[in-house]
Amino acid sequence: MGRPPCCDKIGVKKGPWTPEEDIILVSYIQEHGPGNWRAVPTNTGLMRCSKSCRLRWTNYLRPGIKRGDFTQDEEKMIIHLQALLGNRWAAIASYLPQRTDNDIKNYWNTHLKKKLKRLQGQDGNFIQTTENSSEYPKPVSKGQWERRLQTDIHMAKKALCEALSLDKSATSSSLFAAPQQTETPAHQSKSSTTYASSTENIARLLENWMKKSPNSSSVSSESTCVGLSSSPSEGTISNTFVSFNSDITTEQEAKFDAASLMNNEGKMDTEMTQMPLSLLEKWLLDDAAAQGQEGYFMDMALRETADLF
DNA sequence: AATAGGTGCAACCGCTATTGC
DNA sequence: TGCAATAGCGGTTGCACCTAT
């Protein structure tokens, strides 16, 4: 029994991708668009598993991916969201445009976890760590996902609220007193001699493609403007965080695509679509104010979850 | 200079969820 | 409704590179 392998294991190449393989993959996707991954190895002649192709594309070759250089804001966002959502990296990644879940997961495991541990050692009142916070989303059984979805909506709103306030007030995050750190993390000092680290060159190849065929596929347009992943579950409020991360100057750019938010998080009035960011902020802030801002909202989330279950 | 240990990250593995027939 | 195929996700591993001795 058991599922058959996603592809024939015999003759499947493993390990790091070569530039040639990347170019083949990119060329193929350029022509056919992402999707139907099973067909990719056969059609391209790549001796790679379809999963491997998809992973390579979504994590490295997809346009709009930013590598390295986690900013302090991004760091704080990850910490917030991890506290709220647990180790749901894909969900967290959806709030950080241009970052992949794999990237965030690695960054958490290699940097933030240690950092938090260290800080926790310094401060007994520090926030709950992964180990604690990740416990609460666990009890998800059949019939409960709707409730969790609602919880997630609420928590995402909180996270967004917090993130937006981060922009306005550097001290808004009582949760994490970031140590002095430049925008360039230490790991950047590591030389990027391996090919995998230079795949942005490949990604650049795609720019021409996207310019040539702006609506050649929905994926290209999505990923170009907001760095969304191709997965439906990841199509979320990234626009909002683009606005948050980069100083949006025009109202048009600050449009909020709540429809895509709902792709991830359930139903919402369609009148929310194309809502200017200021309204969204107001909505979030009002909502937060209505619930009381005192204390860290993790407690709120936990209480809420306890009520739900 | 050699090497042992640590670190960071790309890629893989195994599982679940979703989709299509 | 059931099943197979596929997509997506999170945990883990393997390896290249860095640093200390």
Residue whose Cα is closest to the C1' of C16: A194
Checking if the pLDDT of A82 tops 80, the result is: yes
- pLDDT at position A43 is 83
Provide the whole-model pTM. 0.59
Assess whether A17 (CB) lies less than 7 A from strand B: yes
- pLDDT at position A18 is 87
Q: Which amino acid is at A191?
A: S
- Containing A21, the helix (H) or strand (E) segment is helix A19-32
Task: Using the structure, give the distance in angstroms from the CA atom of A291 to the C1' atom of B14, rounded to a whole number.
Answer: 41
Q: How confident is the model over A164-180, as pLDDT tens digits?
A: 554 444 333 333 333 33
Q: Report chain C positions within 7 A of protein CB atoms.
A: 5-12, 15-19
Q: How confident is the model over A296-309, as pLDDT tens digits?
A: 334 444 444 344 33
Mean pLDDT confidence for A44-65: 85
Q: Report chain B positions within 7 A of protein CB atoms.
A: 7-17, 19
- pLDDT at position A52 is 87
Task: Using the structure, give the distance in angstroms from the CA atom of A3 to the C1' atom of C13, rounded to a whole number.
Answer: 22
Assess whether A33 (CB) lies less than 7 A from strand B: no
- pLDDT at position A29 is 84
DSSP string, A120-148: HHH-TTPPP-HHHHTTTT----TT-HHHH
Task: Using the structure, give the distance in angstroms from the CA atom of A195 to the C1' atom of B14, rounded to a whole number.
Answer: 27
Residue of A43 and A162 predicted with greater confidence: A43
Of the spans A126-130, A137-141, A196-200, A224-228, which averages the highest pLDDT? A196-200
Nearest to A219 by CA among A24, A36, A23: A36
Taking the CA of residue A307 as centre, how many other CA atoms within 13 Å lie in the half-sphere pointing to its CB? 8
Checking if the pLDDT of A83 tops 60, the result is: yes
